[in-house]
């Protein structure tokens, strides 16, 4: 690129519209057009994801108890500062929260 020329326009476009754009209101209106059976399926999947999250949290505690009993440390937590179960739980929480926010 030569000096004094402007940057090229970005080639990546995010889906949807910015909240301050006039098109945003019609973008939101599309959510109202989602059929009820699709919404029901989404609620069912959210409930399953929440049950999985609860299971992950219980398993994490079992692993911590076992490691403590054996006098060992979680190798991932020792290396990365966070266990793989912590990462899985955080990811599950984020996905559930994002999905719930789409519902409302």
41-85 confidence digits (pLDDT tens): 888 999 999 999 999 999 999 999 999 999 999 999 999 999 999
Convert 34-61 into a string of H (helix), E (strand) and C (coil): CCHHHHHHHHHHHHHHHHHHHHHHHHHH
The alpha carbon of 70 is separated from its chain's Cα centroid by a whole number of angstroms, namely: 34
The DSSP output letter for 21 is S
CA–CA separation, 60 vs 86, rounded Å?
8
Is the per-residue pLDDT at 13 higher than 90? no
Positive or negative CA dihedral for 81, 86, 91, 93?
A: negative
**pTM strictly above 0.85:** no
CA–CA separation, 34 vs 72, rounded Å?
50
- pLDDT top residue among 99 and 10: 99
């Amino acid at each position: 690129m030569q000096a004094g020329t402007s940057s090229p326009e970005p080639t990546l476009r995010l889906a949807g519209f910015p909240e301050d754009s006039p098109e945003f209101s019609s973008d939101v209106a599309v959510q109202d057009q989602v059929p009820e059976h699709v919404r029901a399926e989404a609620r069912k999947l959210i409930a399953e994801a929440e049950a999985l999250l609860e299971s992950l949290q219980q398993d994490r505690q079992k692993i911590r108890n076992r490691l403590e009993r054996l006098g060992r440390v979680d190798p991932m937590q020792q290396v990365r500062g966070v266990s793989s179960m912590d990462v899985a739980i955080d990811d599950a929480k984020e996905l559930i929260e994002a999905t719930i926010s789409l519902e409302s």
